[in-house]
Amino acid sequence: MEGLDNVELLPEPNDSRILSVVDSAVVGFQDQWRSEVTGWAPMQAVPVPRIRRRKMLVTNGVAFSVLVILMLYVWNSGLLFLEIPPPKSEWAIEQSQFEDLTDMGLSGEGVRVCMVDTGIDLSNPAFSNLQVTFKDMIGASTSPVDYGYVAHGTLMAGILVSNDHQLGVAPNVDLAMVAALGADEDDMNSGSEDTVARSIRWCQDEYQAHIISLSLGGEQNVEMHTEGSSVSAVRRAVDSGIFVVAAAGNDGGGSDDGLVSVPGNVPRVITVGASTESQSVWANSSSGSQSLLNGEQRQHPHMKPEVIAPGENIISTGVGDTWFSSSGTSDSTVFVTGALSLLLEAFPEYKATSDSDGSCIDAVKNALMESALKYDDTATHDNQWGYGQLQALDWYSYLEVQSPVCSFSE
C-alpha cells in the first residue's frame, strides 16, 4: 500500500474483493455521477475504510503518552506498588546446615552477642521490633546510628537478626552493637586499635556477652615485641570463657602476607575465612601461619584460620528498605557467630560464668575442628581452608555426645 496514501479504494459492485483506485480529490464530489460511472447506481459508491499509516503513528504516539502519564500518576499516588524482590543468599543457609538447627527450634534465645563495628541503622523494616543495646565509642549518640561510609555494621547485624526477606541465622539473640569504626578520608571504614580494645572490654564488663563478634581486623606486625591493646583485650575475654569470633582478613591471593588479621591471631579466638557458593575458598580470604611470634607452633584446635563460612555475595540489610550484597570474611564471621549462638542456646553449660576460664572454649573448638567439612579426607588443617567448612548441625552433633570438659578458675 506504500505510495497510495492520497487515493481512495472503491469496491466493484459485482465483487467487493476487487478494488478500483480513485483520486481522493473527487471523493464527496458528484456522488451520484460517480456511482453511475462505476456501476453502483442507483446505490451510492462508498470507499473502503482504510487506516493510513501516518495517522496510525500519530495515534499510537498519543496513546502511548497518555498511558505513560497515567502510569506515573498511579505510581505517584501510591495506588500501585511494583516491587522486584531482591535476591537472597539461601545457599549460605543450606550449605552451612542452619535449617536443620532452626527445625529443632533453636533461634539463639538467651545468648548475649556483642558486635563491634560501625554501629547499626534500624530504619530497615527487617529490624522492626528489634531491641538492641547500643554503645557509641566514637560519638555521643544515645540511640542507634551507623557511622560507616558503607553501613557495615547494619549489614552484619542483618545476617544475624533480620526478621524479613533474608532471615537472620540467630534472630532471637540478645544483641549489643558497639560503634567503634567510622568513615575516614579515604571513604573506608576504620578506627583506632585503642577504641576497638575499649569496645571489647565494654562487651565483657558492661554487657557481659557470651560471644563477641568482630567483623574487623588489623594487620599483624611481626616485628612488634609487645602485643597491641586489642589483642590484650581479646586475650582477657577468651581467658574468661567468653567466645570471640573474628575475621581472618581479606588480603588473600597475590597480596596475601600469610597472616590472619589482628586480633584473629589470638589462639583461643575462632578465626573465620570465607567460602563461596561453589564450596571453595573465596579468592581474597586470608591465609594463616601456624607459627607464633615467639617461634612456637600452633596446636590443635587453634590453628589459623579455624574454619571457613559463606562470604561471597551475601544478601543483607541496608539503610532504609534496601538490601545489599557484600563479600568478605566479615560476613563469614557472623555466620559462625550465629551458629555458635544456636549451640550455646542448646548447650548453655558452655556459656561463660564469673569463674570460667578458657577450657570450655577449647572443648567447643575441638568439636568445630572435628565437624568441619574437609576439602580433602586426608587433610587435618589447611592454611586457607582451616579445618574445613562450617557445618552447624554436625558441630551440634559433636557437642551433643561430648561431655563438657570445662574447668574453672580459682
Look up residue 370 and give its three cell numbers.
572435628
pLDDT at res. 250: 94
Q: Which fold has domain 90-401?
A: Rossmann fold (3.40.50)
pLDDT at res. 188: 82
Determine how β-strand 323-326 pairs with β-strand 314-317: antiparallel
pLDDT at res. 68: 43
Whole-angstrom distance, CA of residue 223 vs CA of residue 240 = 28
Q: Which regions of the chain carry the CATH code 3.40.50.200?
A: 90-401
pLDDT at res. 75: 37
pLDDT tens, per residue, the chain with 410 residues:
555 556 676 677 666 667 676 665 555 555 555 555 566 555 666 666 554 444 444 445 454 454 444 444 433 443 333 345 678 999 999 999 999 999 999 999 999 999 999 999 999 999 999 999 999 999 999 999 999 988 999 999 999 999 999 999 999 999 999 999 998 877 788 889 999 999 999 999 999 999 999 999 887 765 555 578 999 999 999 999 999 999 999 998 887 888 999 999 999 999 999 999 999 999 999 999 998 877 899 999 999 999 999 999 999 999 999 999 999 999 999 999 999 999 999 999 999 988 889 999 999 999 999 999 998 877 899 999 999 999 999 999 999 988 666 755 44
